Amino acid sequence: MTLTRVVVAFFFATACDHALAVRTGTDLLRECQSEISASYCLGYINGFVSHYMITEKNRVIRDAAQPESPTWLRELDRRFCLPEHSALDQMRLVYIKYVKDNPERLSDFASDMLLDSLVDAFPCPPER
């Protein structure tokens, strides 16, 4: 095995291990507060928001095709509307504040806490 293959294999093994490490609010908070891991935190938030935007577009399409969706399905929609020029670092700070304001939720999934923090900080205007 060449040295290049060993380095590439090590990189992927450690990257995958690190990705699995962020599961709870505490895990993501640790990454977001660390100067060394801040880029990982921003990448997590970027991936989360990108996935959310795709899901939101699908929701709009679903609602257009099926305007009378069941009440329980509408109640599951927890939406946020980012300002036009919002920055990832702003979202990181929103998450940190949310976690510090809700310490009883530190063992919750990081993705749930991130969603709740963004819903609280960036509510959507009422639909007409």
Query: Domain span at residue 88?
Result: 24-121
pLDDT for res 69: 60
- Domain assignment present for 69: yes
- Domain assignment present for 18: no
Global pTM value: 0.72
- pLDDT tens digits, one per residue of 31-48: 999 988 889 999 999 999
Task: Read off φ and ψ for residue 109, nearest 5 degrees.
Answer: -60, 140
Chain centroid to Cα 36, Å, comes to: 19
- pLDDT tens digits, one per residue of 76-124: 566 888 888 889 999 999 999 999 999 999 999 999 999 999 999 999 8
Judge whether residue 8 has pLDDT over 50: no
Judge whether residue 74 has pLDDT over 60: no
- Domain assignment present for 126: no
Sign of the CA dihedral with 9 first, then 25, 29, and 41 last = positive
- Domain assignment present for 89: yes
- Domain assignment present for 12: no
- Domain assignment present for 4: no
- Domain assignment present for 107: yes
- Domain assignment present for 5: no
What is the domain count for the chain? 1
